[in-house]
Every structure is written in C-alpha cells, then in structure tokens.
Chain A
Amino acid sequence: EPEVTQTPSHQVTQMGQEVILRCVPISNHLYFYWYRQILGQKVEFLVSFYNNEISEKSEIFDDQFSVERPDGSNFTLKIRSTKLEDSAMYFCASSPLSGNYGYTFGSGTRLTVV
C-alpha cells in the first residue's frame, strides 16, 4: 500500500536554528498538508498546498514557517528560527482529491527544540 514518508523521524535542534522537515507524498496525490501535535494535545492544521501554492493556512503558520515542493516529489516544511514551543510532532499528509477520502498521514517527525 502506498505510503507518505517523512524524514527524519526525530530531530533535535537548538532554539533559533532553522529546521527543514521532509515529506514524500503519495505520487498521484494532489493535495498536501502539514499538521502539528503538541504532546498530549489535539492535532492542529498548519497549512494545505495545492497546485504549487498554499491554499489555506492557520494562524499558527506565521512568517517563521514556509512550505515548498522543490522537485515534484518532496514536500518540505521549514521553520526559520525555532522556538521552544515549536517542539511537537509534525505530520505530513496527502490526499488524491478533496471529498470523502481521509488523508494518508506520514508517520511523523518528532521535533524537539532545546
């Protein structure tokens, strides 16, 4: 069964450093998403991406965040200057179309900011 692949599985970074989280969505999917889950809390939407541009973003997705699909297969989330409160699990997801399809989620990247 096709999978969404995320790397790395765990990343530790110093506060103020830039991090790039990487995702390879399922190849024939058209919609891509990033979600965040702070430990023990609910999953929160960050951003959706379609046709090489952001289609929607949440209030969490401020100027410190950016997304990119640099080569037609990877989908990246960059955090420019990490804060302690950015420590969370970050999930990439993709969907073939909107509609009744649930997304396929990746296994997540655990980001720890120290």
Chain B
Amino acid sequence: AQTVTQSQPEMSVQEAETVTLSCTYDTSESDYYLFWYKQPPSRQMILVIRQEAYKQQNATENRFSVNFQKAAKSFSLKISDSQLGDAAMYFCAYRSAKAGGTSYGKLTFGQGTILTVHP
C-alpha cells in the first residue's frame, strides 16, 4: 500500500517570503500522480498543483512550484512571495495511474502541514 508522509506539522513564513513544504511517499509503482491540496479555515479542499510521475519537468502554477525527486520519492511544494491568503493546511496526496490497481482512483493523503503567514 502507498503511504504519504508530511514531516512538518506546522510551518510559518513572513509575507512576501518563500517557504517549502516537504512530502515523501512510498510506492512500488512507477506511474502515478502527485498533488498538493490547500485547505483554508473554511475546510474546502482546493487543488493547488499536480505532477505526473512520468514527467521530469517540475510543475509550476504561478507562485506555486514543486520539486519532484522520483528516485528519492520526494515531492515538495514551494510557495514564493507568500501572501496572507496562503495561510491554510496543505496536504500532499498520491494517486495510482494503474488501471485496475487496488488504489486506482483514490487519493492517499499525508497528515497535512499547517502554514501560518505572518504580516
């Protein structure tokens, strides 16, 4: 079974600074997808960024980028120019790409990292 680990329960950053949230995962599969979700106090789950494991290029979405290290099974999220609205819980998640596999379709989440942004 796949597992996802976020080793930082809490992180903080000054407004306009950069912060990196860590995520590692364990899988025996070679083809999968990785995601970062943001959960603000409203508890809505918002997709921040996604990465396909077969792509070597790191995904970017505006101020959000990832550092995907497939061999190390690491998938960190970098938030540049942090804003007060970035304060939230961030979840890393894994999804198998294997059709018919036991974990096909479902997301496996990490424990989450609470990000605080200081003005």
Q: Let me know if B108 is at the binding interface, CB within 8 A.
A: yes
CA distance A56 to B97 in the complex (A): 15
- Determine whether the beta carbon of A98 is less than 8 Å from that of B104: yes
Cβ contact within 8 Å between A100 and B105: no
A75 at the interface (CB under 8 A from B): no
Q: Is the CB of A45 within 8 A of B42?
A: no
A93 CA to B106 CA, complexed, in Å? 10
Choose one: A56, A105, A108; the contact of B105 (CB below 8 Å).
A56
Q: Determine the chain A residues whose CB is within 8 A of the CB of B105 once the complex forms.
A: 31, 33, 48, 50, 55-56, 95, 98
Question: Closest approach, in angstroms, between the C-beta of A44 and any C-beta of chain B?
Answer: 7
Contact, CB under 8 Å: A48 / B52: no
Q: Is the interface of A mostly helix, strand, loop or mixed?
A: strand
A13 close to chain B: CB less than 8 A: no
Q: In the assembled complex, which residues on chain B have CB atoms less than 8 Å from the CB atom of A105?
A: 37, 44-46
Query: B interface, how many residues as a size bin?
Result: 20 to 34
Smallest CB separation, A41 vs chain B (Å): 8
Query: Which residues of A30-65 have CB atoms within 8 Å of chain B's CB atoms?
Result: 31, 33, 35, 37, 41-45, 48, 50, 55-56
Within 29-74 of B, Cβ neighbours of A (below 8 Å) are at 33, 35, 37, 42-47, 50, 52
New contact pairs (8) apart from A43-B109, A98-B104, A101-B50, CB-CB < 8 Å: A45-B108, A56-B105, A56-B106, A93-B45, A98-B97, A98-B99, A103-B47, A105-B46
